[in-house]
């Protein structure tokens, strides 16, 4: 059927007005790029309305929440975070004391033999890839940063094996710099269950969280969700009955 005159142009004008009326904010990602805050695709984010109450309850439940990776300086935290990929923090904390005694500086890591280093971290899984990342990372630290870990997002994500999550961990925990929100497997899962984001891509989830979580809480927020994910909101069997924020949670389990 032939459309009535003017219908097509009216639709185009409506779409154009809608786009200009609701610009989507962007946040920096490092490497000079930005992530545009995603608009919900036919879904709501009910947890946003009660987020301040959630944060308040979580702070009372987990006072002094901080990074679980044992470290004494930014370099140790950087290496430990690289090792924590697809590995529990508890396992990493079993490996790193001996590792850091053998390789106390970035220069020591940079001079390490690949096979020897891989053997030291074997129990953390994906040990060859992690060993290559640590070697490459520490060699660049020595060559470009005087052996020191830079307190800068762009400089960190330019290092081998360092993505935005690792950079945020180091900046937030080692330097107290709120450059973003750490999105690990726990934060990703709880962001969906709590109705804070409908996205599945970590960078898009982070953009959503940065838009609704007060900046002064960016560092603590990820620690709170990680601890709560371990204590209550398990991937397979969430303890909804015992959950401290159960009365506020929309319990969106089908997207977790």
Closest by CA position to 138, among listed 100, 113, 175, 111: 111
Q: How far apart are the first and last CA of the chain?
A: 44
Considering only the C-alpha atoms of the chain, give the largest distance between any 2 of them, rounded to a whole number of Å. 78
The single residue of 89, 130, 184, 208 carrying the catalytic annotation is 184
Token look-up 């020897």 returns 116
**DSSP, residue by residue, 92-132:** HHHHHHHHHHH--SHHHHHTS-HHHHHHHTGGGSSHHHHHH
Cβ burial 140-168 (10 Å sphere, 16+ → b, else e): bbbeeeebebbebbebbbebebbbbbbbb
How far from 66 is each of 85, 150, 162, 224, CA to CA, in Å?
18, 21, 20, 8
Distance CA 153, CA 166 (A): 10
The single residue of 165, 188, 208, 217 carrying the catalytic annotation is 165
Distance CA 39, CA 46 (A): 14
Neighbours of 179 (CB within 10 A): 22
**DSSP, residue by residue, 49-90:** GGHHHHHHHHHHHSTT----S--SSHHHHHHHHHHTTTS-HH
Task: Based on the residue annotation, tell me whether 165 is a catalytic residue of this protein.
Answer: yes
Active-site positions read: 165, 184
């Amino acid at each position: 059927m032939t459309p009535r005159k003017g219908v097509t142009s009216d639709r185009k004008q409506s779409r154009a007005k809608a786009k200009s009326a609701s610009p989507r904010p962007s946040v920096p990602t490092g490497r000079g790029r930005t992530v545009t805050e995603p608009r919900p695709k036919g879904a709501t984010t009910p947890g946003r309305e009660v987020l301040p109450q959630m944060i308040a309850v979580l702070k009372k439940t987990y006072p002094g929440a901080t990074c679980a990776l044992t470290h004494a300086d930014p370099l140790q935290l950087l290496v430990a975070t690289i090792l924590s990929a697809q590995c529990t923090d508890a396992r990493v904390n079993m490996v790193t004391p001996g590792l850091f005694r053998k390789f106390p500086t970035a220069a020591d890591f940079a001079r390490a033999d690949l096979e020897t280093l891989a053997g030291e971290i074997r129990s953390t899984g994906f040990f060859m890839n992690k060993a290559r990342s640590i070697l490459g990372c520490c060699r660049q630290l020595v060559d470009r940063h005087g052996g020191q870990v830079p307190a800068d997002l762009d400089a960190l994500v330019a290092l081998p094996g360092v993505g935005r999550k690792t950079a945020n961990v180091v900046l937030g925990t080692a330097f107290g710099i709120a450059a973003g929100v750490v999105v690990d497997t726990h934060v990703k899962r709880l962001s969906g269950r709590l109705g804070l984001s409908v996205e599945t891509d970590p960078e898009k989830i982070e953009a959503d969280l940065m838009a609704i979580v007060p900046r002064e809480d960016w560092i603590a927020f990820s620690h709170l969700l990680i601890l709560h994910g371990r204590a209550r909101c398990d991937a397979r069997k969430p303890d909804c009955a015992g959950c401290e924020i159960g009365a506020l949670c929309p319990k969106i389990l089908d997207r977790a």
